[in-house]
Amino acid sequence: MKILSEAEWNIMESLWEESPKVGSRIVADMGGRIGWSRSTTLTMLKRMTEKGLIFCEDNGQMKAYTSLIEREDAVKRETESFLQRVYHGSISMLVSGFVERKRLSPEELSELRQILDKAEEECHE
């Protein structure tokens, strides 16, 4: 699976919320969310269909679009790409960056501890 561009993410978010979705609803959604014109949205839908990211069903009167990628899969791929590009694959550098900037709340720190404890238990099984 390829990394989605920011423009593709916008379309996918719309489709992940509701799918299938007719083109006119996607046009309205993109116009409201990010100010895209009808032609911009339709061009993106065509390109994304050609790339195999979405499926277009044309019944002659209207086109309905469906995502061919699960949101969870796209998030995993994007996270791996981000981690590799920015932190050279180091999760500890990522976490350290957040901790040093004090961007973690007490609740997030507690949750992170639980995640690490669970990971440690799984390593010893």
What local confidence, expressed as pLDDT, does residue 1 receive? 66
Query: What pairs with residue 64 in β-bridges?
Result: 22, 57
What local confidence, expressed as pLDDT, does residue 108 receive? 86
Task: Tell me the pTM.
Answer: 0.78
Other C-beta atoms closer than 10 Å to the C-beta of 20 total: 15
Phi–psi pair at 101, nearest 5 degrees: -90, 5
Helical axes 71-87 vs 6-17, angle rounded to 10°: 150
pLDDT by residue for the chain (125 residues), tens digit each? 678 999 999 999 999 999 999 999 999 999 999 999 999 999 999 999 999 999 999 988 899 999 999 999 999 999 999 999 999 999 889 888 878 877 778 898 899 899 999 999 888 87
Give the separation between CA 49 and CA 101, rounded to whole angstroms: 41
What local confidence, expressed as pLDDT, does residue 48 receive? 97
3-state secondary structure of 21: strand
Q: Return mean pLDDT, the chain.
A: 92
What local confidence, expressed as pLDDT, does residue 103 receive? 75
What local confidence, expressed as pLDDT, does residue 123 receive? 87
Show the tokens assigned to 12. Answer: 């996918």
Query: CA gyration radius for the chain?
Result: 19
Phi–psi pair at 123, nearest 5 degrees: -65, -30
What local confidence, expressed as pLDDT, does residue 3 receive? 85
What local confidence, expressed as pLDDT, does residue 41 receive? 97
Helical axes 71-87 vs 91-100, angle rounded to 10°: 80
